[in-house]
Structure 1
Amino acid sequence: MNSETHFKTHQPATVNKVKSKLKLLSLLMLLMQPILSAQAKNINATRIAASIKLDGHLTEPAWQSVVPTTDFLQQEPIPGNAPSFKTEARILYDNENIYIGIMCYDDEPEKIIAREMKWDGFISADDNIKLIFDTFDDNRSAYWFGTNPLGAKDDALLTGFEMSSFNEDWNGVWDVECKILENGWSAEFVFPFSTFKFYDKEKQSWGFNILRAIRRKNEEVLWTSVGQNLGFMKISSAGDLVGIENIKRGNPVYLKPYFTAGAQFIDGESKYKHEPGLDLKYGVTETLSLDATFNTDFAQVESDRAKINLTRFPLFFPEKREFFLEGKKTFDFNLGGNNTLFYSRRIGISNGAEIPILAGAKLVGRVSDFEIGAIDMQTAGKGSEPTTNYGTARVKYDLFNSSYVGVLATNKVSEKGSSNSFGGDINFSFDDFLGNQNLVVYSAIAKTNESGGSKDSWAGNFFVDFPNDFVDTYLGYRFIQDGFNPTMGFVSRRGFKQLVYNLSISPRIHAGGIKRLDFVPVESSFYYDNNGSLESAQILFSPLGIVFESGDEIGFGIGRTFDRPNEDFEIFDTTKVKAGRYWYTTYGCGIETNPSRTIFGEAEVITGGFYNGTNTSFEAMASVTLTKHFTLSGDLAYNKIKMNNNSFSTSEVGARITYNISTRMISSVFAQWNNELNEANINYRFNWKPNIGSDVYLVLNQLLSTEGKIRSKDFAVLAKVVWMIII
């Protein structure tokens, strides 16, 4: 064999080896891209001697003396791409505050979208800036702040894996001013250090990230944590805010005395109210906060949305009262769905009626590797409800990078007797599974005890979740025994074992105006009774969902439902579903438009079987932004049901008119009606924030009967003044 022949014989093999190595290298680079984009980055805070004048302009010498951070990358629509416009970030601090200045360059500032002015409004539909601080640098909790070019304020407390628990009802003490300029827009933030909890040490290192949204382009850019399976809320991949030294959180006492006065007129009878009260917040340590309340009043809280229940299980209503909202995620104990061991609406509310709260206290924060929370509340007696003491305690111990093991206990005591519950849970959360994939493994077990209660009073929840950009799958098992009765918790049903499996596949294609496709091969839930017989089931298949580059979405689905009620139950008026076995199929489609549009909304139609009959349901929501001050919105839920040789319909309607005078002065009218109660509830709320932490409210509530001749059933007018004093 000559050398030429030898060369020719081996050349293909050599070339193939090189090609294979290049392919392998390319694949590794592709797989590594999201990891490389998530490498740790630092941003430095510079100490200044004089405070900053908050006016939205970044022209002061202190700002200009700092070299800005500009290395932002696109996260949406295509992770890692260069942004359309440049963004600059600067950070300053003094002994009391941290200041953040963001300059958002824009070649066409006249096209900047800015409409929201309400505190905790929907700034995501506008151009916006969002900040996230992990002040403990433990990847377990964070503070979230946002604004838009009008200077609207939005804030939240984040906890859980991927910061999935988003408590937007928390209101921190901070401020921001924004300006629309000839070359873009700027934002100037100030945060007192007392707003945060952090460790008492000489040099601080906080997890930190910045998001800028360019809404007309449906573009989001990040400072760090860029890539698939990453993103703004993935705090474990955030950068580090460094350079803050020798600062103290301090332990100021925030006093919020308030006075409520008003009148209520019910069926010709008059009741008058004039009561003082006090809320208090005290930083026990740099990492622990104590909240106390005396003669608690929630007059300004908007009424719950009335719902027509077409199931045989109770409805779940979210907490709206401010005292219970801050730190509420500390007390979460997941038993599947809305089932939980602690449900704060059991305190001070009974069968929809308010029960006076005499006083209460809440302690939330961290001690070393422990996250702790405790609540103790005392309610007054009212009607058949005796004066009652409610107590709960929660402890979580940190495991690994973002996992924990925890316990929760509750105790309720009144002259009617006592009850208590106890539970333990363990959560393993990983963001580096198989390289850069997310994985959550969770297990919880709980037991209740009450006077004369059943021994079969256990509940449990176990699941494995794989929540990722391309594939999202979930497998879970839950059970609740017949005697499980958390008197300070919530359960929708008892005496079951449940299996859950969900799978969705969402490839990004970025072609033909389509951003990504969503396929749901299966979304399933099976309930079994104590004998192992199938009690109910729901199986959903979605052959196609489309998310467009424009931000609009459409989807289609087919559902198969089984239910085996053991006794008759009423769903509407006098219509009953008979005990028996029912299988039926439904078909649905839905559409959702980009909320950055002047007119946007969503709609869904589902039609098919319903027990031994049929149902066609239609739900829709629409919002119109006329100006930055004036917004109209409304929603409708309608069901046309045929069953038991009868035909009937259900209707629920809601409408809201919002007029925002400024970012600190808003007013709104909300009206709701449904044809089950045949009542129209009209609520007017005016809120003025003269300074951060202080509020003036005026609330008018009119309840009208629409059955037959329209008449007034209840009219109330209330005024409340809350003034924050810092000592």
Structure 2
Amino acid sequence: MRSISCLLLCLITLSVTAQKKNESYQLHMRKASSAIKIDGIADEQAWHDADSVSDFYMILPMDTSFAKVRTDVKMTYDQQNIYLLVINYNGAPGPYMVESLRRDFSFLKNDNFLLFMDPFDDQTNGFSFGANAAGAQWDGLMYDGGKVDLSWDNKWRSMVKNYPDKWIFEAVIPFKTIRYKKGITRWGINFGRNDLKTTEKSSWAPVPRQFPSASLAYTGVLVWDAPPPDPGTNISLIPYVLGGINKDYTNGKPEKWRGDAGLDAKIAVTSSLNLDLTVNPDFSQVDVDKQVTNLDRFELFFPERRQFFLENGDQFTNFGYSTIRPFFSRRIGLGVPIHFGARLSGKLDKNWRLGLMNMQTGGQTETALPAQNFTVAALQRKVFARSNFGFIFINKESIHYNPNDVEAGKPVYSRFNRNFGLEYNLASANNFWTGKAMLLKSFSPGTRGKDWVHAANLQYTSRNWNIGWQHEYVGSNYKAEVGYVPRTGYIKLAPQVTRLFFPKSGALLSHGPQLTSTNFFTEKMDRTDNELMLNYGLVFRARNTLNVWASTTYIKLLQPFDPLNYNNQHLLATGTEHSWQTLGADYVSKPQSLFTYSLSARYGGYYADGERLTLGGEFGYRFQPYVSIALSSTYNNLRLPQPWGREDFWLVGPRLDVTMTNTLFFTGFMQYNEQLKNINLNTRFQWRYRPASDLFIVYTDNYLPEPFYVKNRALVVKLVYWLNL
């Protein structure tokens, strides 16, 4: 506990700097002097009268000069909406470069413009809107001072129009779409531009090259001529209806028809605090997870994609670390239906954030699970420039718990599981210092002692150096049944250091080594895992990248493990020790080409003195902006002594994206997983017939590869309508 106390004191000390970095960059916004039509034509009087900013600063290739590619931005507003006009001048002759018209595109693979909006001017949370040069929209929630969650979706409109010397992006964002504190006349704001033809990334308010252009620590100021108008009654009803059919061929069951309906509601309690309600939600239209070959000893993590859990979801899901998450929303509704739920989330004022959520699931006879209730409460207090203290409480309660429901001598579910947590998040004013210190405790029936977690990290990021330290302790009796904690009963120490060099000329933009060491110990400080890795990274001016690395690994197993992770008849024994060395390389091609690809390879040892060769690749070709074809593939060759012998695992995933317009999409995605002995086919048609209102047609097949036959298949048609009251 002494180490975490010292690091906490260090984190707090580094927080005490408060001056906003880009205070002098100000855009004054006045009320529109005329009506505005969103058509990509800047011919309204309101745009003629609006203030304009340009003179963007270059972030890449170098952050020491003005951008060479010109960008002009204007903003105005009326009683209902914010309006944005962006004139993106061409930096070089030739057509623009985009992936497709698919929503929420990849920033680095498209000519695009993005708006980063911080309505509380707290440099931590906000909204992002934008478009690529073909008109595909981008929208997301901003959190942690510079990250963007693109799963968020809401109502707004935009238009992109191309001219010989420029492309114009015009957008309207309703006040009801965003959250902001009433009466505040200074918002954080920044604008980012990516121009692939010149390989230039730029921003209006300057951002150091080691940080993303989305970094809210470096926003300028949007100065309103009057407080933003009250959005008034802000209630949205989002009903859905669906019909579908599925058939289980494996168990010989007849076709099962399905008809369903449900409702989501969004109610603005204040302009910055929102109440979300859901009754009988359905998530059949959500993208399928991208599969991986699992050769790890622990559970894999797949991100949340369901809309209901996303807005302000960072306050719940970002508590902790990537492998110590006391709350993971995908645990809710796992194998059982969600009957209803409610979430109150948002800002109480500039310094306080609140999150309350309650979800009720039904029981499932086949899995012997009862109805369960999930309650989560989170409270966050901003301190100093950009840091905060956070509290979280999580409760999972089984309704009508029956201790006689047993399987193999153990209850198939627990009566309850609770977690309490405190954390301090450091983010210095200039973003050079970041870190976290955390304490967690779980409560479960019959468990006492060793049910604590404490962890902390501190990271320094400058232009040339990235130095970090992280340590973790997770007790052997700690349980987070609504979280993601794949490993317990350990102490972890993980230092890392990176040094970057920046040549003044030549093909290389930057290069440098990175050294990381990851060490695991038992609670008695006996070593169980160690990996030491040296990586050398090269970033080219054309944006292609190359990384070569070498590592040495030691593992002492604490429980039996199948090194093939699919044949449990042959297991390595507890207490056996394994060590090996590995070499690897990863290459990503430049994004300007119509044909793009990435390649990866690793070769080295494996468990039981075996050998492992892994080859991977992703290949894509675009017929811009309408069609994008991609193929991802991974091959694992494992050579082990008997009784395992040699094993090959293929994972192949071709994908087709057809974007007929920026409101009409078709996606076909197939995945062949040799380890799971499964072929999955998922096709999805989406028509956004009005903002945030969609028609989905989703077809799914699962096949057994050898002998080839259908395991199950399903067809769902779903209609969603967004109604503002």
Q: TM-score, normalised on structure 2?
A: 0.91
Whole-angstrom distance in 1 between the partners of 2:212 and 2:324? 29
Whole-angstrom distance in 2 between the partners of 1:591 and 1:107? 27
Whole-angstrom distance in 2 between the partners of 1:427 and 1:306? 32
Change (3 A) 1:77 1:108: closer
Change (3 A) 1:603 1:229: closer
Change (3 A) 1:221 1:335: closer
Code of the residue aligned with 1:341 in structure 2: it is P
Whole-angstrom distance in 2 between the partners of 1:214 and 1:262? 44
Residue in 1 aligned with 2:674? 675
1:260 aligns with 2:252: no
CA shift for structure 1 position 121: 2.4
Change (3 A) 1:243 1:50: same
CA shift for structure 1 position 463: 1.0
CA shift for structure 1 position 344: 0.4
1:363 aligns with 2:361: no
Within 5 Å, give how 1:5-154 maps onto structure 2.
38=22, 40-106=24-90, 108=92, 110-154=94-138
Whole-angstrom distance in 2 between the partners of 1:706 and 1:454? 47
Residue in 1 aligned with 2:478? 484
Whole-angstrom distance in 2 between the partners of 1:117 and 1:123? 13
Contact 1:635 1:653 survives alignment (8 Å): yes
1:705 aligns with 2:701: no
Which of 119, 137, 143 is the equivalent residue of 1:159?
Answer: 143
CA shift for structure 1 position 115: 3.9
Which of 355, 363, 371 is the equivalent residue of 1:381?
Answer: 363
Whole-angstrom distance in 1 between the partners of 2:162 and 2:347? 40
Which of 502, 511, 530 is the equivalent residue of 1:537?
Answer: 530
Whole-angstrom distance in 2 between the partners of 1:158 and 1:327? 9
Residue in 1 aligned with 2:439? 445
Which of 436, 444, 455 is the equivalent residue of 1:461?
Answer: 455
CA shift for structure 1 position 305: 3.0
Whole-angstrom distance in 1 between the partners of 2:108 and 2:294? 31
Residue in 1 aligned with 2:201? 220
Cα distance per residue 1:189-228 (max 9 Å; x no partner): 1111111211111x52100011111111110121112434
Which of 709, 713, 722 is the equivalent residue of 1:724?
Answer: 722
1:577 aligns with 2:581: no
Whole-angstrom distance in 2 between the partners of 1:143 and 1:715? 38
SS at match of 1:570: coil
Which of 172, 187, 199 is the equivalent residue of 1:206?
Answer: 187
CA shift for structure 1 position 66: 2.9
CA shift for structure 1 position 38: 4.1
1:685 aligns with 2:684: yes
Change (3 A) 1:197 1:470: same
Whole-angstrom distance in 2 between the partners of 1:167 and 1:527? 31
Contact 1:123 1:152 survives alignment (8 Å): no
Residue in 2 aligned with 1:184? 166
* Bigger radius of gyration: 1
SS at match of 1:431: coil
CA shift for structure 1 position 677: 2.1
Change (3 A) 1:67 1:483: closer
Residue in 2 aligned with 1:336? 321
Code of the residue aligned with 1:714 in structure 2: it is N
Whole-angstrom distance in 2 between the partners of 1:442 and 1:623? 38
Residue in 1 aligned with 2:513? 519
Code of the residue aligned with 1:356 in structure 2: it is P
Which of 235, 241, 245 is the equivalent residue of 2:226?
Answer: 245
Code of the residue aligned with 2:188 in structure 1: it is G
Change (3 A) 1:123 1:402: closer
1:639 aligns with 2:620: no
Cα distance per residue 1:298-349 (max 9 Å; x no partner): 1111333333321211111111111112221011354433221101011001
Which of 555, 562, 575 is the equivalent residue of 2:547?
Answer: 555
Whole-angstrom distance in 2 between the partners of 1:676 and 1:176? 44
Contact 1:251 1:284 survives alignment (8 Å): no
Cα distance per residue 1:577-620 (max 9 Å; x no partner): 34411111101111111223211111111101112211111111
SS at match of 2:94: helix
For these two proteins, the number of residue pairs brought into alignment is 679
Cα distance per residue 1:530-582 (max 9 Å; x no partner): 2211011111012x321110111111111011100033311324353344111
Change (3 A) 1:620 1:45: same
Contact 1:224 1:237 survives alignment (8 Å): yes
Whole-angstrom distance in 2 between the partners of 1:627 and 1:583? 48
CA shift for structure 1 position 662: 0.5
Code of the residue aligned with 1:565 in structure 2: it is L
Change (3 A) 1:77 1:145: same
Change (3 A) 1:190 1:601: same
Q: TM-score, normalised on structure 1?
A: 0.91
Residue in 2 aligned with 1:311? 296
Contact 2:21 2:217 survives alignment (8 Å): no
Residue in 2 aligned with 1:25? none
Code of the residue aligned with 2:429 in structure 1: it is D
CA shift for structure 1 position 465: 0.9
Code of the residue aligned with 1:577 in structure 2: it is L
Whole-angstrom distance in 2 between the partners of 1:244 and 1:175? 24
5+ residue gaps, structure 2 = 1-18, 402-414
Cα distance per residue 1:417-475 (max 9 Å; x no partner): 1221100011222134xxxx611232100000011223221111111111233111110
CA shift for structure 1 position 232: 2.0
1:604 aligns with 2:585: no
Contact 1:80 1:226 survives alignment (8 Å): no
Cα distance per residue 1:351-399 (max 9 Å; x no partner): xxx3111000111101122111111000011121111100000001110
Contact 1:699 1:718 survives alignment (8 Å): yes
SS at match of 1:498: strand
Which of 403, 406, 419 is the equivalent residue of 2:390?
Answer: 406
Code of the residue aligned with 1:360 in structure 2: it is G
Change (3 A) 1:452 1:581: same
CA shift for structure 1 position 266: 1.1
CA shift for structure 1 position 231: 5.2
CA shift for structure 1 position 123: 4.7
Whole-angstrom distance in 2 between the partners of 1:308 and 1:125? 26
CA shift for structure 1 position 67: 4.3
Residue in 2 aligned with 1:424? 422
Code of the residue aligned with 1:650 in structure 2: it is F
Change (3 A) 1:562 1:335: farther
Residue in 1 aligned with 2:588? 592
Code of the residue aligned with 2:625 in structure 1: it is K
Code of the residue aligned with 1:504 in structure 2: it is T
Change (3 A) 1:712 1:472: same
Whole-angstrom distance in 1 between the partners of 2:439 and 2:469? 17
Whole-angstrom distance in 2 between the partners of 1:576 and 1:231? 45
SS at match of 2:120: coil
CA shift for structure 1 position 476: 1.1
Q: Considering only aligned residues, what root-mean-square deviation do their CA atoms show, in Å?
A: 1.7
